Amino acid sequence: MSLGPYTSFIVTSYALVGAVVLILIFSIAIDYRRQKERLRELDASGVIRRSGRSAADIQ
Partner 1 sequence: MTLIDLANPTRFLTLTTRLLPWLAAVTAALLLIGLYQSAMAPDDYQQGATVKIMFIHVPNAWLSMFVWGVMSLAALGTLVWRHPLADVAAKAAAPIGAAFTFLALVTGSLWGRPMWGTYWEWDARLTSVLILFLMYLGLIALWRAVEDPSRAARAAAILTLVGAINLPIIKFSVDWWNTLHQPASVMRMGGSSLDRAFLIPLLVMAVAFSLLFVTLHLAAMRNEILRRRVRSLQMMQASQRAA
Collapsing DSSP to helix, strand or coil, 11 comes out as helix
* Residue 31 touching partner 1 (CB under 8 A): yes
* Residue 44 touching partner 1 (CB under 8 A): no
Cβ 42 to partner 1, closest distance in Å? 5
Q: Work out the burial of residue 43: count CB atoms within 10 Å of its CB; fewer than 13 is exposed, 13-18 middle, 19 or more buried.
A: middle
In this structure, which amino acid lies at residue 4? Answer: G
CA end-to-end span of the chain: 49
Interface residues with partner 1 (CB under 8 A) are 1-7, 9-10, 12-14, 16-17, 20-21, 23-25, 28-29, 31-32, 35-36, 38-39, 42, 45, 47, 49, 51, 55, 58-59
